[in-house]
């Protein structure tokens, strides 16, 4: 198992657990039993799910998504500043990946279904 030295910042906590995807061997662990807030890690799983749906043919990246006022999150990302109410799934995913856009995240979650995000 690898060792990670992290002097970090005072008050910063993290937990991690990693396995080799081929062998299933545990390759890294640090505070793996600690439960912490996920911050934006859920966005990685959302984007992975969208990509998998695209590969499976169940999601068209050119499909237009319409944002709803109830999904708005100010001061996160940039879509809340834009006038465009409809974007392609490709552009919504770009906003999530490049800007950690919570407004775009809410819209894409509605489309792919939170229950499908793994």
What is residue 82's predicted lDDT score, i.e. its pLDDT? 96
Cα separation, 36 vs 50, in Å, equals: 25
Please report the pLDDT score of residue 68 as a whole number: 97
Which pLDDT does position 38 carry in this prediction? Answer: 67
Domain ranges of the chain: 1-36, 41-116
Query: What are the C-alpha distances in Å from 112 to residues 20, 31, 63, 65?
Result: 28, 32, 12, 11
Per-residue pLDDT of the chain in tens (118 residues, 90 and over written 9): 555 566 666 777 778 888 888 899 999 888 888 877 767 889 999 999 999 999 999 999 999 999 999 999 988 899 999 999 999 999 999 999 999 999 999 999 999 999 999 7
Q: Where are the beta strands (DSSP E) in 2-116?
A: 16-19, 26-30, 64-66, 86-88
Q: How far is CA 10 from CA 4, 6, 76, in A?
A: 17, 11, 25
């Amino acid at each position: 198992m690898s060792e990670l030295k992290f002097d970090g910042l005072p008050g910063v906590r993290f937990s991690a657990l990693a396995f080799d995807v081929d062998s299933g061997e545990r390759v890294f662990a640090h505070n793996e039993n600690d439960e912490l807030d996920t911050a934006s890690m859920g966005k990685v799983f959302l984007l992975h799910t969208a990509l998998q749906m695209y590969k499976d043919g169940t999601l068209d990246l050119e499909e237009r998504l319409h944002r709803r006022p109830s999904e708005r999150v100010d001061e996160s990302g940039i879509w809340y500043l834009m006038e465009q109410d409809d974007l392609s799934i490709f552009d919504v995913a770009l906003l999530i990946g490049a800007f950690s856009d919570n407004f775009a995240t809410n819209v894409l979650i509605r489309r792919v279904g939170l229950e499908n995000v793994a």
